[in-house]
Structures are given as structure tokens and as C-alpha cells.
Structure 1
Amino acid sequence: MTGNEAAFGETSADPRTASLPLAHLSLELGHLYMEDFVEGPERLARHFAAVHPWASAGRQAQGGRRPRISTCFLIDDYFSRLSTPAQLIPPLLAAAREAGLGIDYLARESGCAAPDPAVRDGTPLAESVMHRLVESPPPGSNGYRPPVSRTGWLTNGQRTPSARTSAALAANEAWQSPTETLARGHSVFLDIELWSGDAVEPNWSCAFLASVWQLARLGLLRDKGQPVLTPVSWDSDVFPDDWDALPPVVQLDPHAAPFTAYTTCSVLPARFLPVEHAVRVILDQVQIENDVLGQIAARAARERLTLPAGIVDRVSYVFPPGL
């Protein structure tokens, strides 16, 4: 089955909520910082040489059926812009081809933060996801902790209580440790910074933008019922000198399987492991519209696919050594 054959729409669900075509797997071939690209072609060659066997394993893990698999690559143009698309993208694509890999979709990390040009009157994407956060209250919490929309911090449990009165500073006051809400034996407590700076114009964190990226790849985000980060076809070898002139997601292979997929797998350097731990905590506390969840569940049932109910369980990773 080709990507074009898979690109059908759902008409039986709520017509106000657009349906998206779905691949079986969205395979991310990397996420590099601008500083990585500055190291030159050798750095890119090492990256894709290390990714290749794991990308092949990800394809094989889909089983005996003819899976629809699309590949993608995320470029960090949000935190720094040391180069231009015209200078950076052609060597990137060449290095992937030399390693026997094809990049179907190329995405800009800033697209996960800023408004999608396709939805010009929409809410900025990262902000819309922040509004979907439903914090999991730890057992025994009293509501004292300010909401994440005010603090910019999200946890997977109970923070160490802060001293609020002079009486709390008494010598016999016992220190209390932080605790993970769903700890298995011992806690792995995480306190995640989602944004810094002014809440009106936040500087989004890498972990939060990576969460938006995963939700987009899973086809779970809408703005007023319409898709966001919709790929734009790019059939030229020439790229602009300005990142803002490049769509947030470009489709490089016209015959590729859909960008959005039932599940995702990301092949990343080990330095991203703590970031992706934070991503999983965030995804566990994002509320997605029932219409969107229902559409995807119904599609999976028709394809006789077993789809995990939890969003975070649809996301997987590989952290190859030496990447």
C-alpha cells in the first residue's frame, strides 16, 4: 500500500474535526542543533551512519504486513540560527542519501512554537498545547501549588513542601522528600520547565517543543478542528536564505507515506534522553479532544491494529551508542 493510497479522510466522525491520513509509523531520523551542523559534513555522515541500522530495525519491527512508514527530521531553528536553509539543508539531504536513508519530511522546530501559517487566525501552537495540560494532582495535595500556566513548571508528583511560615522553620520541622505519583518502589521525580521569561511571550523549552512535535506526528493536534503543521510539498533542490520563508513542515518525497502516524519512533543522540523523559511526563498530562481520539481509534480498528490507549505508549525511542 502506498502513501497516496493511505491518504483518505474520515467522513463518519464529527465533520467539524478534520481527519488526517495516517501512516503506521513516523520514523524520526534525527534532531540536531545548529552547533552540530557547524561541525561540517563529517558530523552529518557519522550521524546517519549510526542511525541507519536502527532505522532498518524500526521498519522490520512493523511485522510482516506492508507497513506505511514515513521518515522525518527536525532542525532546531528556534534556539539558534547559525546558518540558513540554503546552506544547511542540501548537505543534510546528501549525507542521508549517502547513508542509504531518505528524508520524507523536514520540519523546523520554530514551527512547533509559532502560529501555523495555514491557520493564520489560530492560537500559537505551543500555547494551545499548554492550555490542554491537565496536571495530575499528587495524593494529599491541597491546591496550594500554582497552576502550570502561571509557573511554567510541570511535575510527575509532589514537590518538597516549601516553608511558608516562620513556624515551619522550627528546628524540629522534618524535611519531606519529593515523590513520584506513580512510583514503583522508589521515586524518579521530575520537575520540568516548560517555558522561561515573560508568560505573555514565553521562551519555550526544548522538552515542551519536543512534546508538541510528538503530538503533531501522532495526528492529535487541531486548531478549531483543522489540522496544524500540515506538510507543504517542496519539489525544488533550492532552499531559501531565511528560515521564516520555509514552511514549518515540508514534504520532500511526493510519494511518501503520510506525515502523521499511529505511532512514532525517534532515533536520537543519548543527550536527548532526559529531554524525552520530560516529554513522556508532559504527554501523560495533555488532554486531547475526544473527537480526534475517536477518529484515530476507529481507523485503527478498521485496519485491525492494536493501538495503545495512552498517548505516551504510542511513542518510542532508540538512543544508539556513539550517535
Structure 2
Amino acid sequence: MGDRVIDVDVRFQEAAAVRRTESVAYSHLSVELGHFYAEDFGAGCQELRRRFARIADWSAAIPALAGRGLPAHRQPRISTCFMVDDYFHRFGSPREVIPQVQGAAADLGLVVDYVARESSFARHDGVELAQMVVDSLVVEPPRHTTGSRPPLSESGWLSNGMRSPGHVDAPAMTLPRPWSPPVQSGDPRHSIFVDVELWSDEPATRVWACALLASVWQMTRLGVLRRSGQTLMQPSRLAGELPADWDELPAVVQLNPTAAPFCAYRTLTLMDTQYLPVELAVRTILGQVAVPPAVAQQVAQRAGGEGLHLPSELVDRLSYVFIGG
């Protein structure tokens, strides 16, 4: 008897090709009721109440904004949130601060669904989130550069176009290169050039810029912040009372048990006009972030299943209301 020959079908696939992309629940609109800092809580929280009073003036328009693009019969899902600065300047405790925010909002007829800690968007659960977003940036190489300026990974600076060339010594017997202005990408008629510092290195640590942390925050709200297809941050419910230390508070806490999902197809941020430069920097960053294709496709399909067409560019899913004094 001869040896039998058995055909074996062996197929090789990259691990990334079979990696599962986790799905999350989505609202139609995530409404941020503001960033809050230590100065908002002085003098009996009067500044906090003034801010909420200005925000409340816009609250009647939010359902219409959330329903934009939806079929007429569909009721929009809306969730609200706010973020507390525990990264640059810690103050009070969750047990003190969060009830003050909830109370001030309730006095103006506003309901706060979720609260987030700013420090969590630098590092969370052992993952360097800010660095992960920096690593996902796709920076267009500037034209006509000499290499005299270090790359983003070394300099920590990100722009929205081509910078004005720095001073470079001209070769002997040649004329110096004439000055030229910076140019915004996209060839607009008149440039608005932005150069954003993403971090600063201090003796003991790297300090991430507010604009970068706010970019991580926006990506989290949009449900596109993933690592190997897995979500990195989902809201937690507290079984007991709020902790006395910020480090003991989860990154995102659900305050309203009946809230719509935290993540949303679009975000709306209501804030003071002083934050406009920061949000311009956020848009500069998010305009150059590469969302994993599987994640982008999943979100688009989920929205399409509800009759909602999402802009392909992440930054076009962000809206703002800047409120003056």
C-alpha cells in the first residue's frame, strides 16, 4: 500500500485582519456644558452659576441641533457632560466639586449626565492616551524645507500648513534665501496659519498641552479612540458616594442613571470665548488624526443605519457655541 497524500489547506492572515473592532452605544449628540477650573468655584460659585445661565439660554436649540440630518420620525438621543481640570491645577475633591456643578446646573434647568477628569486623557489604565493620539497624527511634509527644523516627534509642534523657513546660513558666494510667509494647507486665498505646541518637557515629566488633552476628550466623546480595536474608556457608575480624592474617581462617571449613551456621532461644546484659541488648536490636531479604517467604517455604518450621514472628516463632526460675557 502506498502512502496516502492528504491535502492540507493552510491560510495565513495578519492578526490585524481578524482583530475585532468593539462597538459602543451612540447618542446622536454629546453636549459639553463646559470646562471647569478652580476660579469658577470661588465666591459661592457665582461664576459657575453665571456660566450656566449663559449656557441655559441656548438649551432650547439643542434638540433641533441634535436632530439635524435625522429622519423626521426619529427622536434624537442627547447626552450632556462636563470636564473638571485635575491635571494642571487640582482643587477641592470630587465629593465637593461635582455636587456643586450638578446643583448650579439644576438651578438653571440643566441636567448633567456625565463628568470626566482631564488627567485621564493624558494617561488612563496604563495607556498613554495623549502619546497614542500624537502617534496617530499624519503630518504632511512641508514643501521646500531644509531639514533645519526637527520633526514633530522631537519638537512637539504641529502646524496646519507650511511654516516660514527659519534662518539658514547660505552657502558661500550665494545670496541669502529671501523670506517667505507661512502658508495654510488647502490653498486658501488668505492663510490663517496655526502652529500648536503639543507638549513641554520639564525636568521630571512631560506636560501635555490643554489642546492635545481636549483632542483626546473629543475623540473619546466621538467613540473613535481605540487601541487594537478595543475601546479605552467607558463611563462608570458609582455604587456609593463620590470619593474624596480625584485619583479615586473613574475617568468618566455617569451621574444620571437614565442618561443617553456617552459617546455620540457628533459633539457640541458650549464654552466661554476665552477657549476659542484652544479649540482652534484642537481642530488643527484632529484634522490630522488618522482614525483606524475599521473604526471609521463601523461608525459610519451605525449612523447610516439610523438614516444619518456623517461627514468623513472627524473635525467636521464638532460644533461649538462660544458664549461671551
Same fold (TM over 0.5): yes
CA contact (8 A) 1:297 1:307 kept: yes
Q: Counterpart in 2 of 1:53?
A: 57
Matched, 1:128 2:132: yes
Q: Could you tell me how far 1:145 is from its partner in structure 2? A: 3.9
Output one character per residue of 1:154-190: Cα deviation in whole Å (capped at 9) or x when no partner. 000111111222559x886422211111242111000
Q: Which residue of 2 aligns with 1:273?
A: 276
1:266-302 CA deviation, whole Å, 9 max, x = no partner? Answer: 0010001000001001001001111110110111111
Amino acid at match of 1:107: A
- Partner amino acid, structure 2, of 1:220: V
2:121 to 95, 112, 127: 112
Correspondences of 1:190-229 after superposition (within 5 Å) = 190-197=194-201, 201-229=205-233
* Cα distance in 2 for residues equivalent to 1:34 and 1:220: 30
Q: Using structure 2 for the length normalisation, give the TM-score.
A: 0.87
**Ranges in structure 1 where 5+ consecutive residues have no aligned partner:** 1-12
Query: Hey, what does 2:90 align to over in structure 1?
Result: 81
Please say if 1:282 is aligned against 2:291.
no
Cα distance in 2, alignment partners of residues 317 and 199 from structure 1? 36
1:313 maps to amino acid: D
Q: 1:142 to 1:305 in 2, by over 3 A?
A: farther
Once residues 299 and 142 of structure 1 are traced to their aligned partners in structure 2, the CA distance between those partners, rounded to angstroms, is 45
Corresponding residue for residue 184 of structure 2: 180
- Aligned counterpart for 2:250 among listed residues 242, 247, 251: 247
- DSSP 3-state at the match of 1:175: coil
Residue identity (%): 47
Alignment map for 1:136-155 (pairs within 5 Å): 136-141=140-145, 145-155=149-159
Amino acid at match of 1:253: N
Describe the shift of the 1:227–1:39 C-alpha distance in structure 2 as closer, same or farther (beyond 3 A).
farther
**Using the alignment, how far apart are the partners of 1:179 and 1:200 within structure 2?**
36
Q: Given that residues 85 and 243 in structure 1 are in contact (C-alpha distance below 8 angstroms), is that contact kept between their aligned partners in structure 2?
A: yes
Q: Residue in 2 aligned with 1:160?
A: 164
Classify 1:71/1:241 alpha carbon distance in 2 versus 1 (closer, same or farther; 3 Å): same
Of structures 1 and 2, the larger Rg is shown by: 2
The separation in 2 between residues aligned to 1:158 and 1:51, in whole angstroms, is 37
**Residues 232-254 of structure 1, C-alpha deviations (whole Å, 9 max, x = no match):** 01355x32221000001000112
Q: Give 1:43's aligned residue.
A: 47
User: Residue 198 and residue 289 in structure 1: after superposition, are their counterparts in 2 closer, same or farther (change >3 A)?
Assistant: farther
TM-score (normalised: structure 1)? 0.88
Aligned length: 304
Native 8 Å contact 2:170 2:177 kept in 1: no
- Partner secondary structure for residue 58 of structure 2: helix
What secondary structure sits across from 2:39 in the alignment? helix
Q: Does 1:296 align with 2:299?
A: yes
| 1:81-107 alpha-carbon deviations (Å, 9 max, x no partner) | 122212211111100111100110100
2:251 maps to a residue whose letter is P
C-alpha contact 1:196 1:204 (8 A) present in aligned 2: yes
* SS of residue matched to 1:97: helix
Deviation digits for residues 95-151 of structure 1 (CA, Å, limit 9, x no counterpart) = 011110011010000010012x3xx4xx31111111101112334446654321111
Is residue 317 of structure 2 the alignment partner of residue 309 of structure 1? no
The letter of the residue matching 1:182 is G
**RMSD value, Cα:** 2.3
- Which of 253, 258, 261 aligns to 2:261? It is 258
Counterpart of 1:96 in structure 2 is 105
**C-alpha distance in 2 between matches for 1:176 and 1:73:** 43
Contact 2:269 2:321 in 1 (8 A): yes
Rounded to whole Å, the distance in 2 between the matches of 1:201 and 1:17 is 33
- Paired with 2:184 and 2:32, the residues of 1 have a C-alpha distance of 30
SS of the residue corresponding to residue 254 of structure 1 reads coil
* Alpha carbons of structure 1 residues 257 and 14: separation in structure 2 relative to 1, 3 Å: farther
CA offset at residue 225 of structure 1? 2.1
Take 1:302 and 1:140, find their aligned partners in 2: how far apart are those partners? 45
CA-CA distance at 1:223 after TM superposition: 2.0
Write the letter of the residue equivalent to 2:245. Answer: D
Helix, strand or coil at the partner of 2:268:
strand
